[in-house]
């Protein structure tokens, strides 16, 4: 009798395991052809994925991360370097295509590494319990943050290609504009609520308690993000059937005359934006000493403009080109960064909201155009090689640019330039340099990236000739 019971129990366990295995394979390794409904439903799931991803990003970067690092004792230069780690981590995309191009099914890898990345970010809040001493805690922040970023950058070419493949070319501008408006709107509401919570705890003398709630909220969104990724269908992948190695990852994109111009565009872009952008949140928190509630409140203006204009940028891209959108939006950002030169304690009340508005307008176009233009100028077969190399090189250049900015800020931290009664500090000068370099990027686009798409969508490969 006992043996029969054991046998029955083993049978039930076996069936449960087989059922779980079957379900697992159907979610992550399905060979069933996708219907039009599958594509549409997956695009809807991608909106929820974007909302959860953006909420996590807001809660674990910018003013929140700068404030947490400052709470642990980090200075302005260290804070800026932490803010630049996301672009530096992109260098891993130089080797990720070696694995990705061998995989016909990438959904499981993308889903689990995205979860690992985002959940790991939420665990940073426990660093005070994990290490003693300022140096050890700051080192742990850098290590955890960088490891999480490495994991998500490793699969970025596959994840972004997945989203692109779910969206027909004829509606990409409209869809990504609409998707971004939902993503930014809802994620910003979450961020504003949590910034208010953080300020309340700070006023009560328990700022660490506020950070615990902020990062735990990010952890909850990590679970939601994993569920949404797992619910999206994966379209068939067009792999490069040749043997991909590091040499090919470097040489194939560089030999492509069309894509080579996009590589240079991203180099100019990363130099211009990364020399100054990582220090903007730091300047508002430590330089201007603005409250988290105020920072998030003015961010509403930026996000509102972003939400209202991102669909317009998408429609412009459908009618003109991604090159036109990226040129115009980077020009607006260049003017915005340069104007930060004039932001100090006396002018902040007026200029900070204005610059948040112009920044929202610029990033609405930049967000969707920098994502899409590299796909418009690269072939579908072996696409991760092109996207990976571009991100790796751009990330390395961007990080070196931030190092230069941090070096300047550290060396000249006591520098004060007075012109006509107006005083300029070290970070303000870095912002002005960033604006000038972004203007150089705009000039490059205008001269070398020709219009590739007008009126009725983009061809398979954009023409830069």
* Domain boundaries along the sequence of the chain: 34-448
- 242-247, long-range: CB < 8 A, 24+ apart: 242/382, 244/97, 244/98, 244/101, 244/102, 244/382, 244/385, 245/98, 246/94, 246/95, 246/98
Which region holds residue 419: left if phi is over 0, alpha if psi is between -120 and 50, else beta?
beta
Q: Which CATH architecture has domain 34-448?
A: Up-down Bundle (1.20)
pLDDT at 295: 84
- Tell me phi and psi for residue 418, to 5 degrees: -110, 120
pLDDT at 118: 94
Q: Which carries the bigger pLDDT value, residue 454 or residue 208?
A: 208
The pLDDT tens digits for 395-452 are: 889 889 988 988 888 877 777 777 766 778 888 999 999 999 999 999 999 999 875 4
DSSP state of 74: -
> Residue 456 pLDDT more than 50?
no
> Residue 377 pLDDT more than 70?
yes
Going by pLDDT thresholds of 50, 70 and 90, the confidence category of residue 459 is very low
The 10 Å CB-count burial string (b at 16+, else e) for 230-268 is bbbbbbebebbeeebeeebbeebbeebebbebbbebbbb
pLDDT at 273: 95
C-alpha distances in angstroms, 404 versus 69, 81, 260, 273?
Answer: 20, 10, 25, 12
Q: What proportion of the chain, given as a percentage, has pLDDT over 70?
A: 92
Going by pLDDT thresholds of 50, 70 and 90, the confidence category of residue 462 is very low
The pLDDT tens digits for 255-269 are: 998 999 999 999 999
Helix (H), strand (E), coil (C) string for 250-303: HHHHHHCHHHHHHHHHHHHHHHHHHCCHHHHHHHHHHHCCCCHHHHHHHHHHHH
C-alpha distances in angstroms, 306 versus 46, 61, 139, 190, 263?
Answer: 19, 19, 35, 16, 26
pLDDT at 457: 37
């Amino acid at each position: 009798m006992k043996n029969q019971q054991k046998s029955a129990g083993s049978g039930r366990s076996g069936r449960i395991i087989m059922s779980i295995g079957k379900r697992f394979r159907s979610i992550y390794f399905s060979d069933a052809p996708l219907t039009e409904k599958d594509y549409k439903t997956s695009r809807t799931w991608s909106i929820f994925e974007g909302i959860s991803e953006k909420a996590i990003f807001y809660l674990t970067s910018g003013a929140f991360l700068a404030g947490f690092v400052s709470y642990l004792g980090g200075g302005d230069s260290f804070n800026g370097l932490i803010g630049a780690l996301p672009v530096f981590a992109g260098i891993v995309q130089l080797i990720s295509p070696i694995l990705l191009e061998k995989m016909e099914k990438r959904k499981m890898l993308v889903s689990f590494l995205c979860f690992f990345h985002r959940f790991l970010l939420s665990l940073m809040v426990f660093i005070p319990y994990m290490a003693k001493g300022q140096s050890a805690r700051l080192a742990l922040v850098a290590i955890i943050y960088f490891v999480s970023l490495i994991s998500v950058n490793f699969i970025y070419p596959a994840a972004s290609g997945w989203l692109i493949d779910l969206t027909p070319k004829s509606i990409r501008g409209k869809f990504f504009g609409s998707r971004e408006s939902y993503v930014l709107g809802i994620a910003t509401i979450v961020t504003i609520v949590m910034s208010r919570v953080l300020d309340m705890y700070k006023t009560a003398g328990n700022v660490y308690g506020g950070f615990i709630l902020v990062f735990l909220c990010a952890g909850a969104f990590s679970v939601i993000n994993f569920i949404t990724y797992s619910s999206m269908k994966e379209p068939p992948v067009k792999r490069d059937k040749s043997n991909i190695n590091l040499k090919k990852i470097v040489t194939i994109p560089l030999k492509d005359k069309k894509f080579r111009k996009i590589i240079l565009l991203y180099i100019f872009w990363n130099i211009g934006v990364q020399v100054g952008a990582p220090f903007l949140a730091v300047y508002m928190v430590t330089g201007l000493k603005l409250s988290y509630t105020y920072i998030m409140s003015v961010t509403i203006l930026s996000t509102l403009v972003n939400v209202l204009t991102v669909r317009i940028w998408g429609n412009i891209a459908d009618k003109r080109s991604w090159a036109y959108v990226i040129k115009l939006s980077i020009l607006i950002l260049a003017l915005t960064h340069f104007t930060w030169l004039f932001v100090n304690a006396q002018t902040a009340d007026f200029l900070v909201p204005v610059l948040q508005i112009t920044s929202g307008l610029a990033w609405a176009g930049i967000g969707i155009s920098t994502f899409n233009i590299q796909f418009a100028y690269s072939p579908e077969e072996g696409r991760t090689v092109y996207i990976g190399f571009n991100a790796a090189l751009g990330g390395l250049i961007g990080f070196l640019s931030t190092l230069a900015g941090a070096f300047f800020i550290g060396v000249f931290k006591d520098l004060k330039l007075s012109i006509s009664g107006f005083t300029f500090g070290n970070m303000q000068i870095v912002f002005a340099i960033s604006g000038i370099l972004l203007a150089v990027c705009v000039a490059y686009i205008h001269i070398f990236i020709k219009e590739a798409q007008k009126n009725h969508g983009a061809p398979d490969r954009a023409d830069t000739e």
